[in-house]
Amino acid sequence: MASLFCRVLSAVAFLTTLAIAFGPLSAIADEPQEVPIEPTTAKAELAPKEEAIEQLFERARPSIAVITTEGRDGRKQGLGSGFVIAADGLIATNMHVIGEGRPIAVQLADGKRLTVNGVHASDQFLDLAILRVDAQDLKPLPLGDSAALREGQSMVALGNPLGLKHSVVAGLVSGRRDIEGRSMIQLAIPLEPGNSGGPLLDRQGRVCGILTMKSAVTANLGFAVGINELKALLTRPNPLPIANWVKLGSLDPREWQAVLGGNWRKRAGRITVSGEGEGFGGRALCLSMADAPKLPYEMAVDVRLDDEAGAAGLVFGSDGGERHYGFYPTAGSLRLTRFDGPDVLNWKILAQRPATHYLKGEWNQLKVRVEEGRVLCYVNGHLVETQAVDQPPTGRVGLAKFRDTRAEFKHFQVADKIVAPQLSPAVAGHIEKFLTEVSTPAGPRKELPLELIAQLAPESPTSAVALVEKAQQLEQQAERLRRLATAVRQTQVRSELARLFAEPEERVDLWSAALWLARLDNDEVDVDAYRRQLDRMATEISASVEKDAPESARLAGLDKFFFKESGFHGSRRDYGNRSNSYVNEVLDDREGLPITLSLIYMELGKRLGLQIEGVGLPGHFVVRFRPADGEARLIDVFEGGHAITPDEAEKRVRETTGAPPTEAQLQPMTKRAILVRMLHNLLSAARSGSDEGAMLRYLDALLTISPDAHQERWLRGIARWRSGDRRGAKDDADWLLKAETDLIDREQLQDFRAMLERTEE
């Protein structure tokens, strides 16, 4: 389901209008031309007390803000406008500009960046939001009265598209329209990408509306929310501090605590950090919330730096603040340090060693073993330092970064002993057999072998050609190895899915199956870790309600935790992102599709002893809560837990299919059908992106759990043929011919099979 202001607006039958979708900057297309400002406008031509456009613009310009938000990859994705409404730090904009749960940045026209402390008020239905920023001396714009606007009245729209130039466009009020239950100001104004959230001024400089929509058909038509709606919202604030607002990639406070600043994020199994910390040397920590480990213990993490001049790695023996040990790569060496306070006088380098076994620009495993009287440091399995210590470094453990470093971490673990996984001799032998042996005269040295160069030079260019050919062979071998690794991972996923769905329906572990599905595209998904995370969440909900609480109280506790405390919400501005289909990333980001949000809701409900089943309405997945006593009811998890009446359900189905819902459409879906629907969502995204490799992955998984899916097998046969796998394509064609299905045109199928025979000859 798209955003309220991103759907076709049925109330305006003669025109399709869309929300100004502030997606990736590259997606912003031709901007409408600005209305030229005529400096020679005669004052006598203006109505009494009206200002010239250029005067309005100059006076309002300091109050206009550029608002940007981050996408799921941590890069800037959203762009819009806002305007100051209170000197002590209130800025108004559209809800769809800031999205839901995303980091927000605000910059004024003079280039000053303002720290966003929270969302003071928001209303999804009105598409309005008010930000609270850290400032006391802003210049607010005066607010007018939208009810007093007249058709034909002259208006001015301000904004800051792309953050590159300030924009002013003029036009008229052309009427009012009721759009999906909301009264909107219709404007004859050529709005631009970036105007959304900006002010609509009358010619006295008063804000009469907030620019919200532009026409998708014509350049000279737009819509604004009346300023009186914003005034009403100011009287009913629902403030959230930014730490509670931001859900996209935010750290789970049950697992991690950020100390001394830095921008720490977690998603898809990785923790990333950027921004300078507040501690000495730009230091920032991310400490595990688990109890401090007892001696002896080991801890490890895989780390990758964006810039090798930076520094990031492990921290241990922490008091939760300025005192701790650290082991990390920095500027070509490996360093073991101790911090006893906030400044350089309390910092000591215990050891600094050459990074012989460290791989620049790659993932590297750092490991520390802490014992009574000594600390042992490893990189990629090699011991690089053994350091005697007078006092054992007891305390909390976690991650650290220094200076303005950008780094990624994965596979953080703490245990009595951490053993790196080893290939069995048999598997190692298979890999060696798969590869062509290559001798490297240069050995592990970085410098080129001068003697060999001298020997080969007289034979150039023949020798040079031979070396290039050998390099190409090695590259081909590397590519084959990568393909082999991918095939091994995908086979493992399919095997796990087959094992899970071999169980009777009531015993199928749907949560594990959905996590294995996510591993099709990300082999770093830790299925067991996300299973434990969901169990912890259910335990927390249980602890918030009385023991033996009735079903109604448990459901209320689930809703409070899910929607209010954790901030799970529908992905409106980024609906097509594949991350919305991976339940682990939905759990990390608190944002997803109807089906993935519903699945998490269902699984938490199951752990609370509630009967919540999935209902696959056409085009929109919902859940049904069945109490032991009383009427069952449909719940829209995507829309914040809204209870759906039978009339609403019928209306939705009619809008999608043109017909009333059938009995089958209202029945609970099996776990197998739910996973198949999730795979179809991924398959649709892959087809839209012409990603044939992904299509094959999803079709293979789909046919693993639903082998009798005839249309999907036909699609896979074609995809296999296009990828060069004629044998696999023939297998699918033969299977369909034997099945004698009437879902596939048999003559077309026979022609396809004959074509495969001809191309093989």
The whole-angstrom separation of Cα 378 and Cα 394 is: 19
* Cα–Cα nearest to 641, from 700, 694, 583, 598: 598
What is the average per-residue pLDDT within 237-258? 82
The whole-angstrom separation of Cα 667 and Cα 383 is: 60
| Predicted pLDDT at 73 | 65
| Predicted pLDDT at 265 | 86
What is the percent of the chain with per-residue pLDDT over 90, rounded to a whole number? Answer: 45
Q: Are residues 550 and 578 in the same domain?
A: yes
Query: Bridge partners of 413?
Result: 300
Q: Quickly count: other Cβ atoms within 10 Å of residue 50's Cβ.
A: 16
- Where a domain ends, among 648, 669, 690? 669
**Count of all residues that appear for the chain in the document:** 761
Whether the per-residue pLDDT at 302 is higher than 90: the answer is yes
What would the pLDDT profile of 112-150 be if each residue is shown by its tens digit? 888 888 899 988 888 999 999 998 899 999 999 999 999
| Predicted pLDDT at 486 | 84
Whether the per-residue pLDDT at 482 is higher than 90: the answer is no
Q: Which residue has the higher pLDDT, 102 or 295?
A: 295
The whole-angstrom separation of Cα 759 and Cα 754 is: 9
The pTM (predicted TM-score) of the whole model is 0.72
Token output for 400: 């650290």
Position 116 in a domain:
yes
| Predicted pLDDT at 440 | 47
Q: By three-state DSSP, how is residue 558 classified?
A: helix
Position 248 in a domain:
no
CA distances from 594 to 124, 306, 375, 572 (A): 17, 35, 49, 11
Task: Decide if 305 contacts 329 (C-beta within 8 A).
Answer: yes
Lowest-confidence region among 82-96, 130-144, 216-230, 667-681: 216-230
pLDDT band per the 50, 70, 90 thresholds, residue 303: very high
What is the average per-residue pLDDT within 339-368? 88
What would the pLDDT profile of 187-223 be if each residue is shown by its tens digit? 888 776 677 899 999 999 999 999 987 655 556 788 8
CATH assignment at residue 755 = 1.25.40.10
| Predicted pLDDT at 28 | 26
What is the average per-residue pLDDT within 513-542? 93
CATH assignment at residue 569 = 3.10.620
- Where a domain ends, among 649, 669, 689? 669
Position 502 in a domain:
no
Angle between helices 462-501 and 425-434 (to 10 degrees): 140
Q: Are residues 290 and 193 in the same domain?
A: no
Whether the per-residue pLDDT at 268 is higher than 90: the answer is no
What is the average per-residue pLDDT within 353-361? 87
- Where a domain ends, among 415, 440, 465? 415
Q: Is the preceding peptide bond at 461 cis, omega within 30 degrees of 0?
A: yes
What is the average per-residue pLDDT within 26-34? 29
**CA 720-722-725 angle, 5° bins:** 40
Q: Which residue has the higher pLDDT, 736 or 430?
A: 736
What is the average per-residue pLDDT within 520-548? 92
Position 516 in a domain:
no
User: Average pLDDT of the chain?
Assistant: 83
Q: By three-state DSSP, how is residue 555 classified?
A: helix
Range of the domain at 454: 450-477
Q: Which residue has the higher pLDDT, 720 or 48?
A: 720
| Predicted pLDDT at 254 | 84
CATH assignment at residue 212 = 2.40.10.120
Whether the per-residue pLDDT at 61 is higher than 80: the answer is yes
Whether the per-residue pLDDT at 27 is higher than 80: the answer is no
Q: Are residues 148 and 183 in the same domain?
A: yes
pLDDT band per the 50, 70, 90 thresholds, residue 516: very high
CA distances from 560 to 542, 563, 568, 645 (A): 12, 6, 10, 21
Q: Are residues 323 and 349 in the same domain?
A: yes
Q: Are residues 679 and 608 in the same domain?
A: no
| Predicted pLDDT at 22 | 33
Whether the per-residue pLDDT at 76 is higher than 70: the answer is no
Q: Are residues 627 and 684 in the same domain?
A: no
Whether the per-residue pLDDT at 283 is higher than 70: the answer is yes
Token output for 58: 């100059």
Position 514 in a domain:
no
Which residues, 6 or more positions from 666, have their beta carbon under 8 angstroms from its beta carbon? 615, 617, 649
Whether the per-residue pLDDT at 72 is higher than 50: the answer is yes
* Cα–Cα nearest to 575, from 11, 18, 71: 71
* Cα–Cα nearest to 141, from 93, 210, 86, 66: 86
CATH assignment at residue 266 = 2.60.120.560
The whole-angstrom separation of Cα 513 and Cα 241 is: 36
Position 423 in a domain:
no
Position 506 in a domain:
no
Q: Are residues 345 and 397 in the same domain?
A: yes
- Number of domains, the chain: 5
| Predicted pLDDT at 443 | 45
What would the pLDDT profile of 619-658 be if each residue is shown by its tens digit? 899 999 999 988 999 999 999 999 999 999 998 899 888 8
The whole-angstrom separation of Cα 652 and Cα 666 is: 12
Whether the per-residue pLDDT at 468 is higher than 60: the answer is yes
pLDDT band per the 50, 70, 90 thresholds, residue 160: low
Position 318 in a domain:
yes
Do β-strands 569-570 and 591-592 pair in parallel, antiparallel, or remain unpaired? parallel
pLDDT band per the 50, 70, 90 thresholds, residue 226: very high
Task: Decide if 329 contacts 377 (C-beta within 8 A).
Answer: no
The whole-angstrom separation of Cα 57 and Cα 225 is: 21
What would the pLDDT profile of 708-748 be if each residue is shown by its tens digit? 999 999 999 999 998 888 999 999 999 999 987 778 888 88
Q: Are residues 576 and 722 in the same domain?
A: no
Our CA dihedral for 226, 230, 232, 233, rounded to 10 degrees, sits at 140
Q: Are residues 618 and 533 in the same domain?
A: yes
Q: Are residues 229 and 285 in the same domain?
A: no
Q: Are residues 213 and 312 in the same domain?
A: no
Q: Are residues 330 and 363 in the same domain?
A: yes
Whether the per-residue pLDDT at 304 is higher than 90: the answer is yes
